Chain A
Amino acid sequence: MNDTFLLSAIIFLPAVGALLLSALDSKAVDAIRMFSLGITIATFALTLMLWSKFDYEATGIQMHVAYEWIPTWNIFYRLGFDGISLPLIILTSFVSMLACVASWSINKLHKGYFILFLLLETGMLGVFLSLDFFLFFVFWEVMLLPMYFLIGVWGGPRKEYAAIKFFLYTLAGGVLMLIAMLMLYFASGGTTESFNLIELAKAASGAADAKLTSTLSGSMQVTAFVLLFIGFAIKLPAFPVHTWLPDAHVEAPTPISMILAGVLLKLGGYGIIRIAFPLCPYGAAQAAYFVVAIGVISLIYGAFAALAQTDFKRMVAYSSVSHMGYVLIGLGVWKIVDSATINANMWLMGINGAMFQMVAHGVSSAGMFFMVGVIYDRVHHRDLNKFGGLMGRMPLYSGLAAGLFFAGLGLPGLCGFIGEIFVVLSAWNYSPMLAIVSASGVILTAGYILWALQRVYLGAEYTGPHSEDITPINAREATVGGILLAFAIFLGVYPAVVFNVMKKSTSELVTSMQAGYAKAEGTVTAGDEAAAGETQEEAAVLSEPKNDDIPPAQVQQQEAVDSLDSQLVRFDQAVP
């Protein structure tokens, strides 16, 4: 199977499925479900095939294919993947498949639902596979519409509000991304490669084989980074642009919550690591503290907010905010002192931890939302104070749920632990203070998860309405929960399966970003030196020696010493 076909098939198989689905009779509900499930399983199989073709030893993009799409604007149909996108691609098709099984609980307008569902999957996979900035942007926006309708039509009581909130937030982020995209396009000369994410990254890092030269100055890089970062942080979501998430989750139907938490949030992190970081290394370095601080605030704030919730699903939604904070912390722990990266391996560890956290959260949060959905389908409420005693009524369900919630809690041996702990361990090198605050998250997380578990599953009896509707978990639900829990355990016990995939790509990222920073720093200091030179000449009148060859830091020191000297001289003169 040739590369173009395989990659395109992964993206468009769900879309083709959606097209075929529209030909089916809308009353044949079971046929619609089974057909959609078949499509998602086939897509999952294709992504596994992609994995089997993955070369662990290769650096850079694999299966790079490019075709002209809109030549006038140098827009290409450019696809490919590497160790960073592969885990997320597989996660996407995996979660989509399970969400499709979970979609059996959808009870109206089945045909429309599954058509939109499949289109959504196309959008998500397209984002992870596209390497052309414009194509990326197109897929990014393509995801929005199905999601809008899926929440807005099949959602809960306040579905319209949640849908429009989600839509506007993401769209606002998209606009900022568009601005940054155009900045980068024109700064690199608007040539045929100017939307090529790989070439843009190479230009930024000053690689020898770069086909582009970027004229983006240091400060413009910072601007571009901030624009991109806000766009992606909304999706992540990070404090303070996270408020769409609880509403969207609470109103969305269960399978859509699974997709939302399992995949869509990862797009934010992926955008940062694929676009914002490599394209603006200097900006990233400048904003690193800001990124980490936002991560820490999200982490703690989300955990506290989760502790205060009484709505089960809202609590899980805030736990997502909290957990995605780790992603930002891990990505941002790039310590630079005197223009040199300190302990680059620690940063590498942080990035790997952040990536792992995304995958792990994809499994555990999808599981948690599914578990909330299972009980919601029975008793039709989510008030944490009106549950209790489910352990006795639904033992298998409670066992699976406890396992998945423990995964969210970051219990060792389950997937949540590895990402969190690696991120936290890498943080001390960057900033002990932030590291300590982020480590305190373990207490809060344990607090809100255990408290919720106690209120829902433990206790003498169920205290809420519809007690008679509580039936043991059925085979379909047990399958979804069981598979997710099995993966949570597998990833927690043998995380190397993910780290091995990411190894080459993440170290390449770390090296190229350091090079990019050095390059931009060079131009910035060259400017500074010119400026410094001017003042120097003025100063030189007063004092020797001339320091042309001394690096800027020393120049500043020298200046300080000089001015101190001259002050002392004046002081001497003043004293009779």
Chain B
Amino acid sequence: MVGETLKFWLMIAWLLPLAGFAVEIFFGFYSKNPRGSKAAAWMAVACIGIGFLCSANALRIWGNANEWCVLESHDTHGEHAEGEDGHGEEAHEHKAADENSHDEHAVSATDHDAEKTGQTAYSGEIYRLATFGSLTIAMDYYIDSLTLVMFTMVTFIATCIHLFAIGYMSDELVDDYVDHFAHTADGKHVHRPGRFYRFFAFLSLFCFAMLGLVLAGNIFQVFIFWELVGICSFLLIGFYTERKSASNAANKAFIMNRIGDFGFLIGLMVLWTFFGTFRFGDTAQDNVVTEQGLFSMVHRDAESHDFMTDADGEVLITDPSGHVLKDEAGKARTIPYFLLVIAGLGVFAGCVGKSAQFPLQTWLPDAMEGPTPVSALVHSATMVAAGVYLAGRFFPMFAHEVLLTIAYTGCITLFIAATIAVVATDIKKVLAYSTISQLGYMMLGIGVFGWAAGLFHLITHAFFKSLMFLCSGSVIHGCHHEQEMPKMGGLLKKMPITALTMLIGVFAISGFPMLFGLHFSGFHSKDAIVASALAFVIANPIHYLLFVIPLLTAGITAFYMFRLWFFTFWGAPRDQHVHDHAHESPWIMAAPLVILAVPAWLCAYGGESGFLYGMLTGDEPAHLATGVTAAGKIVLPSHHEIHQVHGDAGVLALLAAFSGALIAYILYGTTLVNVEAMKKQMSIVHGFLTNKWHFDDLYDALFMRPAHKVAAFCAWIDKTIFDTILHGLAKAMIVIANWDRMFDEKFVDGFVNLVGDATQSVGSSLKVVQTGKLRQYVMFIVLGVVALFAVVFSTFPG
């Protein structure tokens, strides 16, 4: 019953933006005054705003139905964590003493999870796409605490960004919009009608797709909405269709995503072939499982918590209670272990594309061609985080090798992106690289078995990064579409609200603590990730880079974020013209900044004993609590092990962040160091970084040009080979036909003519005997008779 109610509210929140899209795009196009009216915008705001209320209501219903029990269970967790946070050294001394209580707790948590199963996650079918024998593909829903948190987060941020966009996009409310970045062949600016309504229609469509992705009850459906958010992103990046750079960036984004989706497809094929279903959870009616989902098909061993395998090492496919399923021939159904790994890697490849992870990270910075609200909503807070969301959602199916790949991918990404962010001068590009880097942190968190940490960071990051993007939008708007930070500076006085809210975001992303436990949200979530990484590295020392690099990068993060802030808001104005015309944004843009600043700062209040963390982990996969210790494989740490190192990790991360911030202050906040000279001295490194590690050039040489070569070759084959053969055949036919004609005319006709001619000449030569003289005829007859007799008698003598 609760499931039905939740489904009802979330379906409304999901479908309203779609209805909004349809109305906005049609009425926008056909209305009499589409250019001057803000109706479309308010409609979009209403749709997503109501969606937020519905989501929040659903969250409340879920909480009530479960008596908020999840949170209580984690309160004990939290106390331990707090204790370790506050008294790091003390906790170490009492490590041995604590051990017991921790163990107890681990057991109780497992019990609790087991008991909870089927109670807090609701899944079912919306409608069916197709049935093939025993195989069914349908639109499903899967609602657990993660779904609800994501729904609420997405709708809340989207509402703020919609409001902001009303102000930001208001220059589109004209019949003659001059696009200063698009030029016609004669060098003039492009003039075009404003497209205000279209922008909001696309935003609504995006919200629909994004919410559908979160609500999806099977991985096939995730793929559907995965592509739909991709096309919305395409439409929004390429919103300024007149700009070549924008349409290039849009294409690049979509195609890079498709490369990831190619891997995703392979994963889907493997899952489909071996499991025969795409569903996540089991659908139960009256406590009887009617449709089994993927998650219950792989069972984990009670001791090692690794997948149950048969004698050959193939993973067994089981029913919900852990009994092995049989195939038609009566043999146990299994999936080879390496294929399970491939399936996991495939799904993760999709996440790599969507979340702009190495090696598919290059599209996201280019995607900044889109209007800034788009960057805030699509390319930082929600869509790009979908990859992390899916990695989290699909976590129960990931094998060790997959997790390790995820961890290393995240680790490489977070480092590369952070280094590029250090040298970027475009304010949005810095934030874009920062987004990639932070997404890398989330992936790392998930990969090192800090599932909750990764998703925790997903939510906190969504708040503070959307805030920062909106702030950058406010700056850009205030500076009349100037995005280069070297032309800014000293804007603090001109736009105080923007500057201060931005500063909150900078503190949050750097992970700074605060008095009275009012720590910035990033402090909690980044600590959690670093702690997970440390615990992982302690358990598997050979992978030490997975801790060192993120720690180092925590410093770099603080550095480039403070650099951005000082560059933009601090010091003396560098470009007087820009500075003179700069102004604080109107209330419709400033208000969302203030609203968003609150959760950006405080959404993680209480850390791992707080509300957000508790909600997120309400339905965490059961094997997380106990860790996985399978023979011959890397060890995945348990909650207990992670908590033990939490304090140390936190201190180290904090040190890194402080030093990064300090260096940034010295370099950009003061005039102690000549930055330009430094840049010249390290020009090789600087060039390498500003060229984004040359990834674009590499891909161009490796893939783009060869693809066009192959394409040209295929076209050439068609034109030259096949058609030549065909034309050759045709010519041969003509030659044969000519021969045939010649044969007919010369030989056959010649013979016939010859016979005819001969007959004629014989006839004409005989005509001389036709004299008409009777006596002559009688003589011929007599001679004939005599000759006949002579022949007869000579032939038959006697």
Contact = CB atoms under 8 A, between A and B. Distances in A.
Interface of A: 165, 168, 240, 243, 246, 301, 304-309, 343-346, 348-349, 352, 389, 391-392, 395-396, 406, 411-413, 417-418, 421-422, 424-425, 427-429, 432, 435-436, 439-440, 442-444, 446-448, 450-451, 454, 457-461, 463, 494-496, 499, 503, 507
Interface string B124-138: 000111111111010
Closest 4 CB pairs of A and B: A307-B711, A428-B269, A345-B133, A308-B711
B261 A442 contact: yes
B258 interface: yes
Given A391-B241, A459-B247, A460-B190, A439 B262 contact: yes
Contacts of B251: 450-451, 454
B266 A304 contact: no
Contact of A425 (B127, B268, B711): B268
Grouping DSSP codes into helix (H, G, I), strand (E, B) and loop, the B interface class, with mixed when no group exceeds half, is helix
A307 B707 contact: yes
B739 interface: no
B714 A424 contact: no
Nearest to A447: B255
A301 B714 contact: yes
A391 to B, nearest CB: 5
Contacts of A446: 254-255, 258
Contacts of A243: 718, 722-723, 726
Interface in B707-734: 707-708, 710-715, 718, 722-723, 726, 730
Contact of B238 (A240, A304, A458): A458
Nearest to B189: A460
A443 B255 contact: yes
Contacts of A165: 726
A35 B112 CA distance: 74
A409 B131 CA distance: 24
A240 B133 contact: no
Given A389-B242, A424-B265, A440-B262, A411 B714 contact: no
Contacts of A496: 127-130
Interface in B360-375: none
A454 B247 contact: yes
B183 A411 contact: no
A412 B127 CA distance: 16
Contact of B132 (A345, A418, A439): A345
Nearest to A441: B262
A460 B244 contact: yes
Chain A CB within 10 Å, residue with most, of B132, B710, B715:
B132
Interface string B5-45: 00000000000000000000000010000000000000000
A389 B718 CA distance: 31
B223 A246 contact: no
Contacts of B718: 243, 246, 305
A450 B710 CA distance: 18
B273 interface: yes
A412 B129 CA distance: 12
B244 A459 contact: yes
A461 B272 contact: no
A457 B238 CA distance: 12
Interface in B247-261: 247-248, 250-251, 254-255, 258-259, 261
Contacts of A451: 251
Contacts of A461: 184-185, 190, 242
Contact of B269 (A240, A389, A425): A425
Given A352-B130, A412-B227, A432-B269, 15 more contacts: A243-B723, A243-B726, A301-B714, A305-B715, A307-B707, A309-B715, A345-B132, A345-B134, A345-B135, A412-B228, A417-B224, A439-B266, A442-B258, A458-B238, A460-B243
Interface string B654-678: 0000000000000000000000000
Contact of B241 (A309, A459, A463): A459
A326 to B, nearest CB: 13
A481 B162 CA distance: 32
Contact of B29 (A240, A346, A396, A436): A396
Nearest to B25: A399
25 contacts: A168-B730, A240-B722, A306-B711, A307-B708, A307-B711, A343-B273, A345-B132, A345-B134, A349-B130, A349-B132, A352-B130, A395-B29, A411-B231, A412-B228, A413-B228, A421-B265, A422-B130, A439-B266, A450-B234, A450-B254, A450-B255, A451-B251, A459-B241, A460-B182, A499-B130
B598 interface: no
Contacts of B133: 344-345, 348, 507
Contacts of A460: 182-185, 190, 242-244
Interface in B126-171: 127-135, 137
